[in-house]
């Protein structure tokens, strides 16, 4: 072994210890994870929505969750029910409830559960505590390991100092909010791991390309490109705004090695087929549930002169009788009419189909945005509007109500109670690190830094531009979770600043303080990622929040 390899070998061994300790910490938390009632390993409506869909797919062979959300625990509580659900007519022509979560990840988790269920005979509906824990150990732990290992390898590709590399790996293991989310079934961990894998492949290929300039022959093959395309696309399947980085990844690989693009697109195509294929399998629609929040195609119009003041009282019955005079409903045996909070009506039409009957849904509203007596009948396309819906019935509480002021929202999402920088101070080095990387180093690394900066700004602007009802910081969670998938890219971005700080004692101390403060926030969230951040709770205690 050469003399200069000794520090690297020692550092690698320390990295392995840090990764093992981090995974042991997560495994220990998963082994005892439980809701406050102690009757399930589901921590919130968010992860419960995924779990109930996984259980329904394996145990009932359907994405419909009707049967499971009606199950009651010994204490009479609906253990499986969730606010993160939608309702629409299924392929059997009947109304059903479904999870509102994207289907590809759910289907993949269901595949693991099917193996466990087949091998052991254990079911989640009978054992809602221990079976989910087992699945989390089988799924989240390897995914977290993938993130940490690829992140460590990416850090080692840099030319930074020993101190900078050690601190960056420590930040990956203990200093990001991915650690609390590793004990729950969610999309953020998977998106971050997929992004970390793509970053590692890009950096490895970049190193090989530079070696080839030095005379070392490099023969690129198909599989690295296909894997990079698949992992970049899978990040999009988990976090739709990651589409911005997916496009930039394609450009980066095209600039680095143009021959990589066919393999990149083939890998991405497989994932895209899975995204749309599983969604159609679940909902008989190519669009995700999130895209079904409006009014569908207008199919008919009619006249109805009615006093608007009567619509809240006898309007539903009057509308029902009026619709029986419309030609498309004239032969219908049964029509149900429900007034909607936003105005208009939901019409549920029962139609005979042989020995049984099926349902069709329609939306009836005033034409011309409420002017005149013209009414429109449209295909029902608001899957979130159903009786008792949390999202339509005025039951939203706390941050779910949305922040009215965009300036306040931007402040709390960055430096405030849900702040990216206030909760994870190590990210304060990201802007400086990206600024340095954009103008220094090899051309391909400068392009990568510019892509990370651009994608970060685009995604943050996207969330700031959302309507008030969606400006909720990601709901009740320990951080602004929608940006969590940037963790591997931001860790890579802070390496130059850590390297600069390593040259002085004061710099090393300051970097250590930022890391310790980040670990502190992580430690306050280890019991569940589905709780308000410690800053939010402290500010509420001081009565600083409305």
Using a pLDDT cut of 90, give the percent of the chain over it: 68
What per-residue confidence (pLDDT) applies to 219?
67
Cα–Cα distances (Å) from 192 to 144, 214, 242, 269, 485, in that order, read: 9, 33, 10, 20, 4
What per-residue confidence (pLDDT) applies to 412?
95
Taking phi over 0 as left and psi of -120 to 50 as alpha, with beta for the rest, 98 belongs to beta
Number of Cβ within 10 Å of residue 55's Cβ equals 24
Number of Cβ within 10 Å of residue 405's Cβ equals 11
Q: Cα-Cα-Cα-Cα dihedral of 397, 50, 486, 512, to 10°?
A: 80
- How far is 401 from 380, CA to CA, in rounded Å? 25
Cα–Cα distances (Å) from 170 to 163, 230, 422, 528, in that order, read: 11, 28, 19, 21
Q: Is the torsion defined by CA of 382, 384, 388, 393 positive or negative?
A: negative
What per-residue confidence (pLDDT) applies to 211?
63
What per-residue confidence (pLDDT) applies to 215?
47
Q: Cα-Cα-Cα-Cα dihedral of 41, 418, 106, 112, to 10°?
A: -50
- How far is 295 from 304, CA to CA, in rounded Å? 20
What per-residue confidence (pLDDT) applies to 3?
41
**Helix 487-501, helix 130-157: angle, nearest 10:** 40
Q: What is the pTM of this model?
A: 0.92
Residues counted in the chain: 546
As a whole number of angstroms, the longest Cα–Cα distance in the chain is 91
What per-residue confidence (pLDDT) applies to 328?
82
Is the distance from CB of 539 to CB of 417 less than 8 angstroms? yes
Task: Compute the chain's Rg from CA coordinates.
Answer: 26
Q: Is the torsion defined by CA of 37, 39, 40, 45 positive or negative?
A: negative
Angle subtended at Cα 180 by Cα 55 and Cα 402, rounded to the nearest 5 degrees = 85
Number of Cβ within 10 Å of residue 505's Cβ equals 9
What per-residue confidence (pLDDT) applies to 306?
65
379-421 per-position pLDDT tens digit: 999 999 888 888 776 667 777 788 889 999 999 999 999 999 9
Parts of the chain with a pLDDT under 70? 1-6, 210-220, 306-314, 333, 354, 368-373, 393-395, 546
342-345 LR contacts (CB < 8 Å, sep 24+): 342/385, 342/392, 343/370, 345/315, 345/316, 345/319
Phi, psi of 376 (to 5 degrees): -120, 145
Output the six-digit token pair for 35.
């809701």
- How far is 108 from 351, CA to CA, in rounded Å? 36
Residues near 491 by beta carbon (within 8 Å), at least 6 away in sequence: 151, 155, 168, 171, 172, 176
């Amino acid at each position: 072994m050469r003399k200069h390899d000794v520090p690297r070998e020692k550092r690698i061994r320390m990295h392995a210890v840090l990764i093992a300790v981090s995974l042991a910490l997560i495994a220990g938390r998963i082994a005892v994870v439980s809701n406050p009632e102690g009757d399930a390993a589901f921590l919130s409506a968010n992860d419960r929505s995924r779990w109930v869909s996984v259980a329904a797919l394996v145990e009932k062979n359907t994405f419909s969750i009707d049967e499971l959300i009606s199950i009651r625990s010994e204490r009479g509580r609906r253990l499986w029910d969730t606010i993160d659900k939608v309702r629409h007519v299924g392929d059997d022509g009947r109304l059903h409830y479904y999870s509102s979560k994207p289907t590809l990840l759910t289907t993949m988790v269901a595949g693991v559960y099917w193996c466990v269920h087949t091998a052991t005979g254990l079911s989640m509906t009978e054992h809602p505590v221990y079976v989910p824990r087992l699945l989390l150990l089988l799924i989240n732990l390897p995914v977290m390991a993938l993130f940490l290992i690829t992140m460590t390898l990416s850090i080692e590709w840099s030319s930074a100092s020993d101190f900078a590399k050690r601190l960056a790996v420590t930040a990956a293991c203990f200093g990001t909010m991915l650690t609390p989310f590793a004990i729950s079934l969610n999309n953020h961990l998977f998106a971050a791991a997929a992004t970390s894998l793509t970053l590692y492949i890009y950096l490895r290929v970049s190193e090989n390309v530079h070696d080839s300039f030095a005379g070392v022959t490099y023969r690129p093959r198909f599989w690295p490109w296909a894997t990079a395309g698949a992992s970049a696309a899978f990040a999009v399947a988990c976090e739709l705004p990651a589409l911005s980085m997916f496009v930039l990844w394609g450009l980066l690989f095209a600039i680095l090695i143009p021959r990589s693009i066919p393999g990149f697109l083939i890998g991405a195509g497989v994932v895209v087929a899975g995204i749309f294929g599983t969604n159609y399998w679940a909902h008989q629609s190519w669009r995700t549930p999130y895209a079904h929040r409006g009014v569908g195609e207008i199919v008919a119009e009619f006249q109805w002169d009615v006093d608007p003041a009567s619509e809240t009282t006898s309007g539903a019955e009057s509308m029902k009788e009026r619709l029986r005079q419309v030609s498309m409903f004239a032969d219908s045996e049964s029509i149900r009419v429900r007034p909607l909070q936003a105005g208009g009506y939901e019409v549920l039409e029962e139609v005979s189909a042989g020995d049984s009957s099926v349902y069709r849904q329609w939306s009836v509203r005033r034409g011309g945005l409420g002017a005149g007596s013209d009414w429109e009948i449209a295909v029902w396309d608001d899957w979130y509007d159903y009786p008792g819906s949390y999202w339509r019935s005025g039951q939203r509480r706390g941050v779910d109500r949305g922040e009215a002021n965009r300036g306040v929202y931007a402040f709390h999402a960055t430096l405030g109670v849900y702040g990216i920088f206030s909760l994870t101070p190590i990210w304060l080095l990201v802007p400086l690190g990206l600024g340095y990387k954009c103008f220094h180093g090899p051309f391909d690394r400068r392009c990568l830094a510019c892509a990370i900066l651009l994608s970060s700004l685009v995604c943050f602007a996207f969330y700031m531009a959302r309507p008030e009802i969606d400006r909720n910081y990601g709901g009740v969670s320990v951080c602004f979770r929608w940006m969590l998938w940037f963790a591997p890219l931001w860790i890579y971005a802070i390496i130059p600043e850590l390297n600069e700080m390593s040259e002085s004692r004061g710099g090393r101390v300051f970097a250590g303080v930022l890391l310790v403060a980040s670990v502190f926030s992580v430690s306050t969230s280890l019991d569940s990622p589905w709780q308000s951040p410690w800053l939010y709770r402290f500010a509420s205690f001081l009565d600083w929040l409305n």
